[in-house]
Amino acid sequence: MSWYIGTLEEVEAYNEKVNEAKAYKGSITSNWANPRQHPDGSKWAIAANNSIEPQEESSLIFTESLSEDWTPEIEL
Amino acid sequence: MANSNNWGEIYKSTWWGDKAWSANTLFIDSAPPGFGLNLLKASEDMNITRDWSQWLISVAANSTDEAAPNATDTAEKLTFTDAPQSRIQQQIALEANTTYTFSVYAKVRTGTQNFRLRNVTLGQAQQFTADTSWGLNPDDGRYSFSFTTGATAITHTLSIQNAAAAGTGEIFFWGAMLNEGATAGDYVKTEASVGGSAPAPAYSGFGDAFGGVTAYYSLRQFTEAETLNAIRVRRSSDDTEQDIGFDSNGDLDTTALLAFVGTGGTDNGFVTTFYDQSGNGNNATNSTDSEQPLIVSSGSLTQLNSKAAINGDGADDVLSLSTGLNLSSGYSIFQVVQIPSANTYGITISSTDVSNFSRTMMFGSFIKFSADGTNYDNYGGGGNKGAQNLWSSVVDGSGNLDTNRNGSAYGSTITSVTGTFELDIIGTNIGVNSFEFFQELIVFNSDQSSNLGTVTTGGGTGIEGNINTYFDIV
C-alpha cells in the first residue's frame, strides 16, 4: 500500500478529494481512508489512491510504504 | 397431479385423468386433487425422530400437561432453546408450481409465545403468536402458512420453528398438516413411519449443532433454517454493494459473488460487512474503502486451504462490530485465521480501547491473550504465522484461560484472567499488523470447555471437530 505524508489538513483535503471523486453508491462505504498520525505526533499519513493525485498546491509526499517508525510501539 | 381450475368452477374436461373422462364432458371442480390429504407423517407424534428431526429443541411426547384440541388426545410439548434455528422439521417431496398450506394447532399455558412455520427449502416463513386457547369446534388456535413451490418438483423441508427473535419457551402442538391448496383443509390425522430414520438435512451448519452462540461470523452457513447472508461486498468497478449469501451446500455463494464483482484482471471485491449469522444482528462493518479486506482479487475468489477466505492486507484492514461484546465470567472464542509471515505479530481481534485493550496477538512462537490491558501470555511452539490455524480461547468462570491450537493444548492454563474482554474489532486496533486471512469467528459468552470435543484428521467431534470438519485444518 502506498501513502501520502503531510499535515493533518493536507491529508484530510486529499481524503475529501478522493471521496468526491468516488461518490460511493453503496449503503456502507462512505469514506476513502482514515488519516494516521505518526507516533511522535509530527506528521500524518493517508492511504494513496492510485487513480487520484493530490491537489496541485498540496505538498504531500508520496511513499510506497511507511517506514518502521510509523508503527506504534507495544508492550511485549 | 393438480389441474388448473378454481374450486367450484365449471370446466370442460380435456384431461384423461378426470374421473369418467370423455371429451367435452362438463365437470364442477369441487377440490383439487390432493386436497383433504395430509402429506405430513406423524401429525400428532412430533417426538418421532424418523419423521420429525429435532434441532436444538426438546420434545415431550403426549404431554399430560395439555389435552389436544379434540379434547381426547394429548398434545406434544416443544421446548425451544434460545436460538432462532431451534426447530423440528420434516422432509416431503412436493410437486412443482403448486400451492400448499402448512398448518398446526398451537397453544401456550399462560400469556403468548411466538413461533414460525417455515419452508426451509424455499427460505419462506410466517411467524405466529400462540395463545391459551385451541379447539376443533369451532376451529381455534390453528395457524397456517401457504407457499408455492418452484418450477422443479423436489423434496422440501418444513419446520415448526422458534420465533425470529428466539428466546426460550414452551408451546404445545398438535395436528400438523400439509395439504395442497391455498387454505388449510379439514384436519386429517396421519401415522408415523414404520422403521427407517429421518433423512439427513440438505445442509447442517454449526448453528444446528450448538446453541447459545453470542456471535457468528463465517464464510459457511450457520444453519439451513434461516435465510442468511455471509458478507456484503463492494465491487471496484463502480463501488456499488451487494449482499452475498450461500449455496445449497452451505458454502459462500461464489457464483453470485463473481457475477457481481466480475472476473476480469482489474475486478476486486471488498468486504464491507461480515454478517453475524447468530440471529443477534451484531454485524461487523467497515465504511472506509482502504481498510476493507478483499474477497475477490483480480477477478478470483480469495481462498485459504481451498475454502473462501476474507483476505486482509496484514496492516490496517479491519471490520468493527456494531455493538462491542463485553465477555466475562466464562467465555469462549474460536478463530480460523492466518496472520502474515512477514509481520512480527498479528492482531486478530481487539477492542477500540488501546489503553486497557483486549487483543489476541499471534507471534511466531507464542500468542498473547490480553483481556483488559493486562497481558496473559500463553507460550507454545512455532508455526503461528503464515499458516491457517484454529485458535480456541476458553476462559472459565474462575478466570482460567486455556488455549488450543488446532485442537491441541497450546501452553499451559493461565490463571487470574478476570478482566472483561471487550471485543469490538475483527483485526487490529492500532492501525498495523492485522490479519491476512479470516474465515470464521465464533463467540460464546459462556464457558464451552465441556463442548470442545476432539480434532482428528479431516474431522473430529464437538465444537473444534465441527470447525475442523468444514475447514479441514488438520
Cα distance from B240 to chain A (closest Cα, Å)?
5
Chain B residue at shortest CA distance from A75: B375
Cβ contacts (< 8 Å) between B432 and chain A: which residues?
A: 70-72
CA distance B254 to B358: 34
Cα distance from A53 to chain B (closest Cα, Å)?
16
Task: Answer yes or no: do A25 and B430 touch at CB < 8 A.
Answer: no
Contact A54, A46 (CB under 8 A): no
Q: Which of A25, A27, A29 sits opposite B289 (nearest CB)?
A: A29
For domain B9-180, give the CATH number: 2.60.120.260
Choose the CATH number for B206-471 among 2.30.30.20, 2.60.120.200, 1.10.20.10, 1.10.150.120.
Answer: 2.60.120.200
Q: Please indicate whether the domains covering B9-180 and B206-471 agree at the CATH topology level.
A: yes
pLDDT value at residue B348: 98
**Average pLDDT of the residues in B401-419:** 93
> Best of A1, A4, A12, A28 to disrupt the B interface by mutation (most B CBs within 10 Å)?
A28
Q: Using CB atoms within 10 A of its CB, is residue B347 exposed (0-12), middle (13-18) or buried (19+)?
A: buried
Contact B56, B197 (CB under 8 A): no
The fraction of chain B above a pLDDT of 70, given in percent, is 92
- Whether chain A has a CB inside 8 Å of the CB on B232: the answer is yes
By DSSP bridging, strand B455-456 and strand B459-460 are antiparallel
| Phi, psi angle pair for B466, to nearest 5° | -60, -45
For the whole model, what pTM was predicted?
A: 0.90
Task: Answer yes or no: do A28 and B287 touch at CB < 8 A.
Answer: yes
pLDDT value at residue B314: 96
Distances (CA, A) of B258 to A29, B301, B317: 20, 8, 21
The secondary structure element, H or E, covering residue B392 is: strand B389-395
Q: Domain coordinates of chain B in residue numbers? A: 9-180, 206-471
Task: Answer yes or no: do B240 and A26 touch at CB < 8 A.
Answer: yes
Q: Using CB atoms within 10 A of its CB, is residue A44 exposed (0-12), middle (13-18) or buried (19+)?
A: buried
pLDDT value at residue B396: 96
Those residues with Cβ within 8 angstroms of residue B175's Cβ, 6 or more apart along the chain or in another chain: B43, B44, B68, B69, B103, B104, B105, B142, B187, B189
Query: Which is higher by pLDDT, B279 or B380?
Result: B279
Task: Show the beta-strand stretches assigned E in B124-212.
Answer: 124-130, 142-148, 154-162, 169-180
DSSP string for residues in B419-441 = SPEEEEEES-SSSSS--SEEEEE
- Whether chain A has a CB inside 8 Å of the CB on B322: the answer is no
pLDDT value at residue B20: 47
CA distance B180 to B37: 8
Cβ contacts (< 8 Å) between A50 and chain B: which residues?
A: none
